[in-house]
């Protein structure tokens, strides 16, 4: 409980607490409510990086925090997927892909914690998969057709790659070997920044033309 009340872990939990509020505004289903949903999802995205930063800055890195960060991501994404199926016609097969991936990773993590007392570490493709999923869900929230199509395929691609890499990490740990290191190379970071800025500009233009003009 003491670790749970640390500020970085409370920031992680905030992502989960935001989901019922987002669900309420999705249910309202008007322009103002959609914009509020976008703001809340952006806040959730900020907390995803803020919790790790605070943990390092405050020297509050704990086993609970290491496990809680990805679990909070998965719970947030899973609940949001269900809400979008209910209120935005999100495809059931794609919902099954996203939730199924998270359940597989959680199950593998539980096995390692129970048998080895080791937390399954995140990897680079997993972070890309979560980013693609977040962009996909955001596209469905604002009904951005181009984003729906683009991030559907990116989500499927990175989901497959992340599961392959997680299975390698799981196998290495089970065999008492060092887990593979998936380094974030400068070219990857540059590409990610360019793609993020470009898509952000396109999304802002879309929001202005559809919801603000």
Q: What is the pLDDT of residue 120?
A: 57
Query: In this structure, what DSSP letter does residue 178 have?
Result: P
Mean pLDDT of 40-68: 75
Mean pLDDT of 59-88: 81
All domains of the chain in start order, with CATH: 7-212 (1.20.120)
Q: 9-13, 92-96, 160-164 — which is least confidently predicted?
A: 9-13
Mean pLDDT of 147-171: 86
Mean per-residue pLDDT over the chain, rounded = 80
Q: Which tokens go with 133?
A: 């999923």
Q: Give the integer Cα–Cα distance in Å for 23 and 84.
A: 9
Mean pLDDT of 92-97: 94
Name, of 45-54, 105-114, 135-144, 177-186, the range with top average pLDDT: 135-144
Give Rg (Cα) of the chain. Answer: 18
Residue 14 burial (CB count, 10 A): 17
Digit-coded pLDDT (tens) for 122-154: 567 777 887 888 889 888 998 888 889 989 999
pLDDT band at 166 (very low <50, low <70, confident <90, very high): confident
Q: What is the pLDDT of residue 201?
A: 82
187, containing H or E segment = helix 186-207
Contact 77, 102 (CB under 8 A): yes
- Coil, strand, or helix at residue 155? helix
Compute the CA torsion angle 194, 152, 99, 53 (nearest 10 deg): 10
Q: Give the integer Cα–Cα distance in Å for 78 and 20.
A: 12
Q: 17-31, 65-79, 92-106, 177-191 — which is least confidently predicted?
A: 177-191
Q: What is the pLDDT of residue 117?
A: 56
DSSP-assigned states of every residue in 46-73: HHHHHHHHHHHHTT---HHHHHHHHHHH
Q: Give the integer Cα–Cα distance in Å for 202 and 45.
A: 18
For tokens 């803020």, name the residue: 50
Q: Which tokens go with 198?
A: 């470009």
Contact 169, 121 (CB under 8 A): yes
Q: Give the integer Cα–Cα distance in Å for 213 and 196.
A: 24
Mean pLDDT of 78-96: 93
Contact 15, 48 (CB under 8 A): yes
Q: What is the pLDDT of residue 164?
A: 86
């Amino acid at each position: 409980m003491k670790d749970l009340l640390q500020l970085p872990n409370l920031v992680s939990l905030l992502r989960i607490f935001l989901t019922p509020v987002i669900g309420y505004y999705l249910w309202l289903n008007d322009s103002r409510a959609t914009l509020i949903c976008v703001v809340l999802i952006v806040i959730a995205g900020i907390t995803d990086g803020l919790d790790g930063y605070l943990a390092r800055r405050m020297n509050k890195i704990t086993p609970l925090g290491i496990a809680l960060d990805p679990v909070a991501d998965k719970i947030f994404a899973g609940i949001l997927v269900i809400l979008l199926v209910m209120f935005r016609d999100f495809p059931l097969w794609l919902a099954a892909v996203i939730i199924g991936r998270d359940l597989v990773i959680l199950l593998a993590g539980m096995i390692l914690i129970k048998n080895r007392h080791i937390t399954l570490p995140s990897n680079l493709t997993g972070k890309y998969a979560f980013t693609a999923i977040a962009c996909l869900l955001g596209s469905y929230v604002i009904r951005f057709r181009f984003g729906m199509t683009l991030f559907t395929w990116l989500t499927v691609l990175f989901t497959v790659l992340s599961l392959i890499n997680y299975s390698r990490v799981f196998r290495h740990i089970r065999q008492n070997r060092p887990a593979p290191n998936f380094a974030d190379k400068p070219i990857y970071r540059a590409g990610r920044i360019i793609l993020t800025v470009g898509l952000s500009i396109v999304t802002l233009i879309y929001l202005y033309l559809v919801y603000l003009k």
